[in-house]
Amino acid sequence: MERYQIILCYDGTDFVGSQRQAARRTVQGEIEKALRQLNWTGKSILLAGRTDTGTHASGQAASFDLEWGHGLDALQRALNAHLASDIAVTRVKRVAENFHPRFDATSRRYQYCLFCQPVRDPLRERFAWRVWPPVPDLASLQSIWLGRHDYSAFGTPPRTGGSTTRTVTKSEWTSRGDEWVFDIQADAFLYRMIRRLVFVQVAVCQGRSSIETLARHLQQGRNPALEHGSVKIPTGLAPASGLVLVEVRYDNLVD
């Protein structure tokens, strides 16, 4: 019996998130179903983190214990043979028996894609958010999130009463044609935090809020006094379809 780490790529459109749910299609459920075809007897795989319904991944990490008498390439091929076309195992490695993909992670990196166009585009909107009116200067907002801050105004902790302080080490907007891509990395993220950050940045660029308002909420957290008058930030989330979990990093994990 050995512990394996796998890296997953999936189109989240037809999944009800990554975490197993009874009688609903999830990433975890599909991986566990495939493993059972390989005589896996475990109860649950471990995931690096949860992704929402409709959110995609190119670098989700998971681990499990398995008796497997063949090589890593053979395990990758065997798993992919039992997985549907919208999910794939892109890497397999052996790890220490106490490795945990969530608790051992030192950072996560996500990308969010949007494009500016007045008419809907059914092909692009599977993996991006169509925004109109256009947002010409998202890059002017990117540095506001860098550093360690209380993000309680922009998300909720995974556990009730958990910390809402996070350290963001990368925050970049890049443009290509009519598209904008937000690249953000942090030690961890609050529930729906990135979709919230994208939404409020678009609101600022469309004149529905201000960068000063975002900065004030970032400095003071979820302060009820800020929810009145001109300091209130717009409510809402960017659609899950534009979000991709790109990478989970482990400082002590050797390739």
Catalytic positions, written as ranges: 52
Q: DSSP state, 125?
A: G
Helix and strand tally (H, E) in the chain?
A: 4, 10
Alpha-carbon gap, residue 60 to 81, rounded angstroms: 19
CB-based contact 190:156 (threshold 8 Å): yes
Find out whether 252 and 117 touch, Cβ atoms under 8 Å: no
| 3-class SS of residue 149 | strand
Q: How many angstroms separate the CA atoms of 147 and 128, rounded?
A: 27
The kind and range of the H/E element at 112 are: strand 107-116
CA 170, distance to chain mean position in Å, is 14
Q: Residue 161: left if φ>0, alpha if ψ -120 to 50, beta else—which one? A: left
Alpha-carbon distance of 127 to 240, in angstroms, equals 9
Residue whose tokens read 């690096």: 48
DSSP state of 60: E
> What phi, psi does 42 have (nearest 5°)?
-75, 170
